[in-house]
Amino acid sequence: MTQITLPRPDDWHLHLRDGAMLEAVLPESARHFARAIIMPNLVPPVVTGAQAAAYRERILAGLPAGMRFTPLMTLYLTEETDPADVAAAAAAGIVTAVKLYPAGATTNSASGVRDFDKVRGVLEKMAEIGLPLCVHGEVTDPAVDIFDREAVFIERVLDPVRRATPGLRVVMEHITTKDGVDYVRSQGEDLGATITTHHLIINRNHILVGGIKPHYYCLPVAKRESHRLALVEAATSGEARFFLGTDSAPHADPAKESACGCAGCFTATNTMPLLAHVFEAEGRLANLEAFASRNGPAFYRLPVNSETLTLEKTDTATHWPAKIFGGAGPVTVFDPGFPVFWHVTP
Ligand code: DOR
Ligand code: ZN
């Protein structure tokens, strides 16, 4: 097959930032994706319905003329989050999900949750109204090795929280381990998982062998090859509970190429060609539609997009810009390290 047409895909986990960075990266997502779940980890974070509504307006105002894109907003869960504000924002159609960052787990997560008893009321309200909780699944205990933090989170935090809040609908964001894949498969339909583009392509060797590669550093950090293979198997399986969330997370190059570099891979520009490459290599190109276009809407109880996107394979390697330039400085586009022959048709 040299051509494939899908319902227009969505990105169920995206960082757009704000101001000049938003302006630079928004067209990169809007070019291929119809909708995206927008992460709320701005500085300061998006914690109230009113802030989410204002952020949505800034995103829509930044959309270049002629581009269509629907931002699906999230609230950043803090120990002070008011269940009534969450319920009102959901009822008004302002927010599609709430995001849980364990405090200190990643970029701008200082206001996240330390004591889960303090968010019990919000989680119970969310279970009642069916509002999904998007979870950054890593423990922050300094005694836990960074490569084990996802597996330990499932056991110590996620499973107990889900048991304590029956009916809570949860998305394990950006799973990076076989443990994550196995946990999702062992649970019922109220648990889904997003998988990023970059975690389907790199393992920890790519970050560390032959010199440190700051543009491959993200959180959760890429794990060993056996975990990457488990992610590829899950993503390409077509199973309903695995769907695309790129976690495309732009940082200007100086912030990445630094003695203390930021976490994040920027994949908005080339995700769809990269996914076509990965799915074809598995002999499962036909399941790209489930992963990128159908499973996410089904989990979020939204319609599949009626517009389409076509990918084509050609004999010459596809080119994308190595960097995106904007007022916030250059942002390096994720480099898979191999040629890709798929491109999105104009
Ligand atoms: O790599 C990451 N970058 N992981 C996250 O969880 C946050 C994100 C960001 O905001 O830069
Ligand atoms: Zn993220």
CB of 106 sitting under 6 A from ligand 1: yes
DSSP string, 256-310: HSSTTPPP----TTTHHHHHHHHHHHTT-GGGHHIIIIIHHHHHHT-PPPSSEEE
CA separation for the pair 145, 27 (Å, rounded):
37
15 is in an annotated binding site: yes
CA separation for the pair 192, 169 (Å, rounded):
8
Taking the model in full, what pTM does it have?
0.98
The pLDDT value recorded for residue 1 is 58
| 298 alpha carbon – ligand 1 mean position (Å) | 25
Residue 15 CA: nearest ligand 1 atom is: 10
CB of 22 sitting under 6 A from ligand 1: no
Residue 173 sits in a domain of what CATH number?
A: 3.20.20.140
Longest dimension (CA), the chain: 57
Q: Are the C-beta atoms of 167 and 234 separated by less than 8 Å?
A: no
Choosing from 109, 219, 266 the residue with most ligand 1 atoms within 8 A of its CB, the one to mutate for a pocket test is 219
CB of 26 sitting under 6 A from ligand 1: no
Q: Are the C-beta atoms of 340 and 314 separated by less than 8 Å?
A: no
| 15 alpha carbon – ligand 1 mean position (Å) | 8
305 is in an annotated binding site: no
Contacts of 175 (CB under 8 A, 6+ apart): 137, 150, 181, 184, 193, 194, 195, 199, 231, 234
Contacts of 82 (CB under 8 A, 6+ apart): 122
247 is in an annotated binding site: yes
The pLDDT value recorded for residue 110 is 82
Domain encompassing residue 316 = 3-344
Going residue by residue through the chain (346 aa), what tens digit of pLDDT does each one get? Answer: 599 999 999 999 999 999 999 999 999 999 999 999 999 999 999 999 999 999 999 999 999 999 999 999 999 999 999 999 999 999 999 999 999 999 887 777 888 999 989 999 999 999 999 999 999 999 999 999 999 999 999 999 999 999 999 999 999 999 999 999 999 999 999 999 999 999 999 999 999 999 999 999 999 999 999 999 999 999 999 999 999 999 999 999 999 999 999 999 999 999 999 999 999 999 999 999 999 999 999 999 999 999 999 999 999 999 999 999 999 999 999 999 999 999 999 9
Number of domains in the chain: 1
Contacts of 147 (CB under 8 A, 6+ apart): 204, 221, 223, 224
What are φ and ψ of residue 191, in 5° steps?
-120, 125
Name the residue with the closest Cα to ligand 1, atom 10: 107
| 107 alpha carbon – ligand 1 mean position (Å) | 5
What are φ and ψ of residue 126, in 5° steps?
-65, -40
The pLDDT value recorded for residue 109 is 81
Residue 85 bears catalytic tag: no
Given 115, 182, 247, 253, which residue is catalytic?
247
The pLDDT value recorded for residue 106 is 76
174 is in an annotated binding site: yes
CB of 30 sitting under 6 A from ligand 1: no
Other CB atoms closer than 10 Å to residue 138's CB: what's the count?
Answer: 26
Name the residue with the closest Cα to ligand 1, atom 7: 107
CB of 207 sitting under 6 A from ligand 1: no
228 is in an annotated binding site: no
CB of 178 sitting under 6 A from ligand 1: no
| 249 alpha carbon – ligand 1 mean position (Å) | 6
